[in-house]
Amino acid sequence: GQSLEQPSEVTAVEGAIVQINCTYQTSGFYGLSWYQQHDGGAPTFLSYNALDGLEETGRFSSFLSRSDSYGYLLLQELQMKDSASYFCAVRDTGGFKTIFGAGTRLFVKA
Amino acid sequence: NAGVTQTPKFQVLKTGQSMTLQCAQDMNHEYMSWYRQDPGMGLRLIHYSVGAGITDQGEVPNGYNVSRSTTEDFPLRLLSAAPSQTSVYFCASSYGGAGVHNEQFFGPGTRLTVL
């Protein structure tokens, strides 16, 4: 089976940096993705890591350590619009199924 | 491109009724999936398809049926609605293929209430 763990809530101040962690347990692994979802909206893709290391996309970066079954999403220069839920997701070995974590609710304060 | 479309946006059913949630994509994606989202539980995979004529079960398939007769459409059928199926349903599609990161594109969701 597959399971992912991430914190339920994180609060940070506008302009700060925040890290959202994700640990996973899978029978196979094909990559770790991150999605953002605003209240009432649909999830949207942020980043993907198939190999160990850091991927950077603007203010967002994502890191993966396959040996530790661990990854994180790093958000820099936080803005109020970053207040949303963030989900990590794992593709299984065949790449056919994507399983999501329960999500981390990020609150950005002024 | 319209992307991924879902209909209806909202639906109220009575226990025991059946209905079909529609999902269509115009990106020629091979992979399509149905998820349900309940408060505090993230997205749970119901069924998925890797191409026309091929479907398989996800994490929570009971009470739902799917079919994939064309690349574009992937309807989800509730056989006999139960209050436990009250949820927000999202359809998603992705290109798939080996070595591709499989970014999923989500539809706007269907908000279903079963009384």
Tens-digit pLDDT string for chain B (115 aa):
789 999 999 999 999 999 999 999 999 999 999 999 998 778 999 999 989 999 999 989 999 999 999 999 999 999 999 999 999 999 999 987 655 567 899 999 999 999 9
Q: How far is CA A53 from CA A43, A67, A72, A97, in A?
A: 24, 11, 11, 23
Report A:66-105 residues touching B (Cβ under 8 A). Answer: 87, 89, 91, 95-103
Quickly count: other Cβ atoms within 10 Å of residue B6's Cβ: 21
Measured at the CA of B46, the angle between CA A9 and CA B19, to 5 degrees, comes to 115
Q: Which residue of A has its CA nearest to B4?
A: A42
- Does A103 sit within 8 Å of B103, measured CB to CB? no
